[in-house]
Structure formats: structure tokens, C-alpha cells
């Protein structure tokens, strides 16, 4: 007669969540049939003594083995997927919650991690550069770079080092205090990231077809933050879908099409976030650039200067 331990409650006698080897080894049809067709043995107490139990428990065992509702409640040992699903019911997560999610994702099989990391990208709160207190943020912009970097750092689970102010304002103060260099410099942004325990790897971009984005850039999104330069402006790439690239633009609703003054991008009508105390374009909205989509038709024509992969 096949001997099996008591239906797994999720906690071993030693207090761990590790499933007994005897349970894991029940894999063949012969073993399953034997287990469900007759009496089975259970673990009695922490000593591990086996005693026979009633035949009617075989139905519960069968249901448990196949994941039916009759199985035991795993409670705290339910596994990272269940905890992630609970965590992801929130529309947005703070840096501490994101760090927790990343720890859970790292416990999954490697083949399953990428999809969860991509989904986590959409949980990062949007940051609006237009309300930054930094003196470097003027009516025409100025701190898109640090604002996008703040979002990328939060995606990595990095908390604002000075919670009394906005993350991007804290980054600008650190830049000045640590004499890390000029604001509009990729090297400066990398030094800021390193100051907080991360780094930026710079990748020349150029023009690419959709397949490149769905392979190379998609790979970056499966665990790393992605900064994107569009000639004088910096945004965070959040993800992609069938329509195009999903972007958090800290300034507003950008369009990857040239305008009359020669700049290779433009702004949607009334698409700029409100500027500090007063509105721009007749609006006071602060999140016009949140979760926006650059259509594939525009993306594949655009000559991207640089991508920054934040690790």
C-alpha cells in the first residue's frame, strides 16, 4: 500500500513551507490510483509516526492532488503567485510594495518571471515634471530627465531618499550637493543612479522595426527600467501592446511626429500638464502623459537617439 503523509497544510513540523518529499513523489498514474482507491497513511504529530486513516479520506486526497477546492488552505505558504495576485489588485504600488513584488517574482521559475516583471511596470506611479519645485523646471520644461529617472528607480524598488519632497526634486538636490555634474547629462543621471545603488547602461537606438522592439526592448522591460531620449526630451518606456509603445511622459501627451520648428516630436492639442500654480493649454491636469501610447506607425519611423537601461 502506498504511504502518503497527511494532507499538506502548508507548514512543516520545522515551521518551513517546504512540501515533504513523500508528497512530491506522488506522480505516476499507478501511485495516484492506488492512493485514491484505498486507505492512506497520515503523519501523526511532529515525530512523523504513520497511522491508518479512513477510506473516505481518499476522495479528499484525490481532489487535493489535482488542485480541487477540497485541498487544504495553504495560508501563508500559498506561494509567490498568490501573493503577487493579491498585491497586484492595487492600481499603483509604492516603492516598498514594488520591492516586495520583485522579491516574490524572483522566487518564480525563470521562465515565468518576465511576464510578471512586465506587468509590474504598469504599477509604477506617474510623476509629473511640471509641478517640480526644482529651479531648473521652467514653463518650457527642464527636469524631464530626473522625473523619468525617478519612475525607473521606483520600478527597481528604490524609495525616495528624501520623502519630505518629490523624488525628482530630491534627485536634483543630490546632484547639486554631491557635485555630480550638469543636469542634462547621461553621465550625471548614471552617477545619481549609482548613488542609490543602481546603474544605467546606455544603448544607441536609431530606427528599428516593430520586431526589434518586441524582442530587444521587451527583454529590457522584463526587470529593468527604461529611459528613452527623443531629442531633447526624456520619458520612461512602460511597456508595449498591439497599438504601440506605452509611455509615461512627465511633460504631457507627446507625439512622435516632427513639427514646423524642426523638432522631431510635438505635443497633442492641450496635451501639456499644468505648470505649477497655473495651467498651460487651458488645463490644470497633471497626468496627461500617463500611460500614453506611441503608435507603432510612428515608432518604427522615429530615429531614437538613446535608450538608458536602469538596473
Angstrom distance (rounded) from CA 109 to CA 10: 20
The answer to whether the CB of 168 falls within 8 A of the CB of 127 is: yes
Given this model, what pLDDT does residue 171 score? 98
Q: What is the dihedral of CA 245, 239, 221, 170, to 10 degrees?
A: 100
Number of Cβ atoms within 10 Å of the Cβ of 2: 17
CB atoms within 10 A of CB 158: 20
Look at residue 39 in the predicted model and tell me its pLDDT.
38
Burial profile 238-256: b = 16 or more Cβ within 10 angstroms, e = fewer: bbbeeebbbbbbbbbbbbb
- Burial of residue 24 (number of CB atoms within 10 Å: 0-12, 13-18, 19+): exposed
pLDDT value at position 175? 97
What pLDDT tens digit does each residue of the chain (311 aa) get? Answer: 444 444 444 445 554 555 555 444 444 444 444 444 443 344 334 334 433 444 445 555 545 555 555 444 544 556 899 999 999 999 999 999 999 999 999 999 999 999 999 999 999 999 999 989 888 887 768 899 999 999 999 999 999 999 999 999 999 999 999 999 999 999 999 999 999 999 999 997 899 999 999 999 999 999 999 999 998 899 999 999 999 999 999 999 999 987 767 778 888 988 888 876 655 555 568 899 999 999 999 999 999 999 999 99
Closest residue by Cα to residue 289 from 274, 303, 272, 265: 272
Nearest-CA neighbor of 65 among 8, 3, 21, 16?
Answer: 8
Cα distance between residue 165 and residue 134, in whole Å: 10
Q: How far apart are CA 241 and CA 219, in angstroms?
A: 14
Q: Which CATH class is domain 126-310?
A: alpha beta
Q: Residues 6 or more apart from 268 whose CB is under 8 A from it? A: 252, 253, 254, 255, 288
* Distance in angstroms (rounded) separating the CA atoms of residues 237 and 299: 12
What is the reported pTM?
0.76
Please tell me the distance from the alpha carbon of residue 252 to that of residue 287, in angstroms, as a whole number: 7
Strand partners, 43: 50
**Tell me, what's the pLDDT at 86?**
96
The pLDDT assigned to 183 comes to 96
CA distance 207 to 165: 38
What digits encode the pLDDT tens for the residues 248-273?
999 999 999 877 677 788 889 888 88
Domain ranges of the chain: 21-76, 80-119, 126-310
- Residues with Cβ within 8 Å of residue 273, at least 6 apart in sequence: 128, 129, 130, 131, 250, 251, 252, 280, 283, 285, 286, 287, 288, 289
**Sheet of strand 225-229, all strands in order from the earlier edge strand to the far edge:** 200-206, 304-310, 225-229, 234-240, 244-248, 292-295
Amino acid at each position: 500500500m502506498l504511504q502518503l503523509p497527511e494532507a499538506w497544510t502548508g507548514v512543516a513540523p520545522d515551521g518551513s513551507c517546504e512540501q515533504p518529499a513523500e508528497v512530491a513523489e506522488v506522480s505516476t498514474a499507478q501511485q495516484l490510483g492506488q492512493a485514491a482507491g484505498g486507505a492512506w497513511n497520515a503523519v501523526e504529530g511532529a515525530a512523523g509516526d504513520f497511522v491508518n486513516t479512513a477510506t473516505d479520506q481518499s476522495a479528499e486526497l484525490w481532489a487535493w492532488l489535482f488542485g480541487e477546492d477540497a485541498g487544504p488552505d495553504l495560508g501563508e505558504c500559498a506561494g509567490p503567485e498568490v501573493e503577487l495576485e493579491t498585491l497586484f489588485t492595487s492600481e499603483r504600488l509604492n516603492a516598498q510594495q514594488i520591492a516586495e513584488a520583485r522579491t516574490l517574482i524572483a522566487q518564480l521559475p525563470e521562465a515565468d518571471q518576465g511576464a510578471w516583471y512586465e506587468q509590474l511596470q504598469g504599477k509604477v506611479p506617474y510623476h509629473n515634471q511640471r509641478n517640480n519645485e526644482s529651479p531648473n523646471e521652467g514653463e518650457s520644461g527642464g527636469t524631464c530627465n530626473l522625473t523619468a529617472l525617478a519612475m525607473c528607480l521606483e520600478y527597481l524598488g528604490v524609495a525616495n531618499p528624501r520623502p519630505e519632497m518629490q523624488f525628482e526634486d530630491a534627485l536634483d538636490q543630490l546632484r547639486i550637493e554631491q557635485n555630480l555634474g550638469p543636469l542634462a547629462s547621461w553621465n550625471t543621471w548614471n552617477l545619481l543612479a549609482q548613488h542609490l545603488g543602481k546603474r544605467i547602461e546606455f544603448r544607441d537606438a536609431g530606427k528599428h522595426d516593430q520586431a526589434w522592439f518586441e524582442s530587444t526592448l521587451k527583454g529590457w522591460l522584463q526587470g529593468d527600467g527604461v529611459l528613452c531620449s527623443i531629442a531633447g526630451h526624456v520619458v520612461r518606456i512602460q511597456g508595449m501592446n498591439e497599438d504601440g509603445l506605452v509611455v509615461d511622459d512627465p511633460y504631457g501627451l507627446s507625439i512622435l511626429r516632427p513639427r514646423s520648428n524642426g523638432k522631431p516630436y510635438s505635443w497633442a492639442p492641450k496635451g501639456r500638464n499644468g505648470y505649477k500654480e497655473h495651467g498651460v493649454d487651458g488645463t490644470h491636469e497633471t497626468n496627461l502623459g500617463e500611460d500614453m501610447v506611441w503608435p507603432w506607425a510612428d515608432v518604427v519611423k522615429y530615429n531614437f537617439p538613446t535608450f538608458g537601461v536602469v538596473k
